[in-house]
Structure 1
Amino acid sequence: MERGQQAPNNQALPNQIGRAPFEDTGSPLYLQNGDHPGLALVSQLLAGNNYNSWNRAMSIALTAKNKLVFVDGSLLRPKSNNLLFGAWIHCNGMVISWILNVVNLKITDILLYISTTSEILMDLRDRFHESNAPRIFQIKKLLTGLQQGSMDVNTYYTRLRTLWDELKDFQPVSVCNCGSMKEWMNYQNQECVMQFLMELNDSYAQIRAQILMMEPTPVISKVFSLVLQEESNVPYIKIS
């Protein structure tokens, strides 16, 4: 989006016949009764080094609120004589408040004088977005060193799954519908299963051996379920 760009007077927004966009529950200009400037849409504050995960969480939250169009710049600001100008300004200010509520105070001070949500997110991306290669390297290094140790099975699996999902987000999306794509997905699943089983504590050796004998290799969620069932019979040191 070009900064300062405005939408034409006749910019159309999807709405039900005979209803103004700010009265239509399907319009991005609609605000629910519970929407107010003090809302914290995500649980984590943006501190800088957690930009990638914070941005993902915010994108999901704003999509649920039907307000992502303010962030990506696809809903442009109407001209001041447009009937929708006031509603747009109102919603834009609301989304800015939601963003400021979930960033570190030191970062907030810099953002206060930026007038649109799309410019705020552009500024944050320019400053904190990590390029792919260093983050991929970091994720793979974390995966290599991750062992169950004193963690229970659920905590161990959750940490693995979080890293897997973030790593997957960096991978290019394939549009192939051929058999080779299915083979690739099966291979990826097998890799996850092996990594999960390899770093389980030795007390899970029996269930690990049983899973490795299964043909075909079960999906990782099934493997996790089988190991979780076994956990009640296996002592472990609980994290304090």
Structure 2
Amino acid sequence: MSDDDNKRKAAELAAQKAAEAAKSTTFDHDSDHDDPDAEVIYRKLDPSSPYFLGSNDHSGNMICTVKLNGENYERWARSMRLSLRGKRKWGFVDGSIRKPVNPIYLVDWDAVQSTLVQWIMNSIEENQKNSIPYFEEAKPLWDLLQRRFTVSNGQRQQELKYELAQCKQTATMSVASYFGKLEKLWDEIDNYNPVPACICGMSEEFQKKKDEAKFHDFLFGINQERYGNLRSQLLAQDPLPTLDWAFKAMNQEEQLQKRNAVVKSDAVDVMTFAVQGTNKELGMRKPHVMGNMVFRSGGEIDPRILMYRVCILSGLYLV
């Protein structure tokens, strides 16, 4: 075999090895492979990639506990944003991750978009789904829901301030339940008035003022009959305690009142049992009462019951 034949065979073998290596190559979405004629290759993605879908990321999952019913858009949108950010998928919804030009990445893009559309639709009440057109990508679907269900800022802020002023703790409402109602209103209000990001220290001062306003909101609506004394004590402190401290104090007072009520109830039960036993022991008919004197039917004072107080209405002997 001539040298030319050997060289030709060596070149063919090298070309074959190069082709096999190219077929097994995996590309990252952040790399610079932008050949529009490249063959679509199914690749194993890194879990840190936003395109990665784990074994638990089924399209039928409910990733948000709040379902959009047409009247709770702000709360629903906030919950969905948190869930999607936790899965590194929010960039596909807000548009910060753009559709790739390279066909190599289109398979992963389509897979993520289909899953996101399903996740969003799964979090919408059935009576609202009928009015939503078909979408293949998440961003136009999200934009439609935002346009359709967002209430104007001014109107919604007025509604929230009114609801906050009317939020009161009822006689049967626990401190935790009352505080939870306030927190939902505060969270939505904070969406319209976020703390400015700066390094000059003004953001800390702004947050401090907001926390102080929440402290007064909490005490303003607290049940005055049950917690009025503690409320006055907290307001008299200088400087004012934090909101968390006020909640802790009110919660402890609630638990103390519950324990005292149980002890009092037990004491009444014991007293009732003792009185019933005393009446049975004496074996007497309902005595005749005149002032603080207790007489038998014959008119004489019963010496055995001088040590007891008698209920004027029931005639029972009280220990």
Fold similarity call, TM over 0.5 = yes
Q: Which amino acid aligns with 2:247?
A: F
State the match for 1:124 in structure 2: 145
Contact kept, 8 Å, 2:117 with 2:135, in 1: the verdict is: no
Contact kept, 8 Å, 1:41 with 1:98, in 2: the verdict is: yes
Q: Which amino acid aligns with 1:161?
A: E
Q: Could you tell me how far 1:143 is from its partner in structure 2?
A: 0.7
State the match for 1:24 in structure 2: 46
- Which of 158, 169, 174 in structure 2 is aligned with 1:137? 158
For 2:202 and 2:59, how far apart are their aligned partners in 1?
A: 49
State the match for 1:7 in structure 2: none
- Which of 115, 125, 144 in structure 2 is aligned with 1:94? 115
Cα distance change, pair 102–108 in 1 and its aligned pair in 2 (3 A):
same
Tell me the C-alpha RMSD between the 2 structures: 2.3
SS in 1 for 2:96: coil
State the match for 1:50 in structure 2: 72
State the match for 1:207 in structure 2: 230
For 2:30 and 2:43, how far apart are their aligned partners in 1?
A: 7
Where in structure 1 are there 5+ consecutive unaligned residues?
1-11, 236-240
For 2:72 and 2:135, how far apart are their aligned partners in 1?
A: 22
Cα distance per residue 1:57-93 (max 9 Å; x no partner): 11111111111111112222234x6111111101110
State the match for 1:60 in structure 2: 82
Cα distance per residue 1:165-197 (max 9 Å; x no partner): 211110154245446554443333222212211
1:225-240 paired onto structure 2 within 5 Å: 225-234=248-257
- Which of 92, 102, 105 in structure 2 is aligned with 1:84? 105
Where in structure 2 are there 5+ consecutive unaligned residues?
1-27, 32-41, 259-319
Q: Could you tell me how far 1:51 is from its partner in structure 2?
A: 0.9
TM-score, scaled to structure 2: 0.64
Q: Could you tell me how far 1:210 is from its partner in structure 2?
A: 2.0
For 2:156 and 2:47, how far apart are their aligned partners in 1?
A: 39
Q: Which structure has the higher relative contact order (CA within 8 Å, separation 6+)?
A: 1
Cα distance change, pair 183–87 in 1 and its aligned pair in 2 (3 A):
closer
Q: Percent same amino acid at aligned positions?
A: 30
Contact kept, 8 Å, 2:219 with 2:231, in 1: the verdict is: yes
Cα distance per residue 1:111-158 (max 9 Å; x no partner): 452221001001111111111111100110001111101310000011
Contact kept, 8 Å, 2:195 with 2:206, in 1: the verdict is: no
Q: Which amino acid aligns with 1:185?
A: Q
- Between stretches 66-75 and 180-189, larger displacement belongs to 180-189
- Between stretches 85-94 and 107-116, larger displacement belongs to 107-116
Cα distance change, pair 140–22 in 1 and its aligned pair in 2 (3 A):
farther
- Between stretches 59-68 and 81-90, larger displacement belongs to 81-90
- Between stretches 43-52 and 20-29, larger displacement belongs to 20-29
Q: Which amino acid aligns with 1:72?
A: D
Q: Could you tell me how far 1:106 is from its partner in structure 2?
A: 3.7
Q: Could you tell me how far 1:198 is from its partner in structure 2?
A: 2.0
SS in 2 for 1:137: helix
Cα distance change, pair 128–22 in 1 and its aligned pair in 2 (3 A):
farther
TM-score, scaled to structure 1: 0.83
State the match for 2:289 in structure 1: none
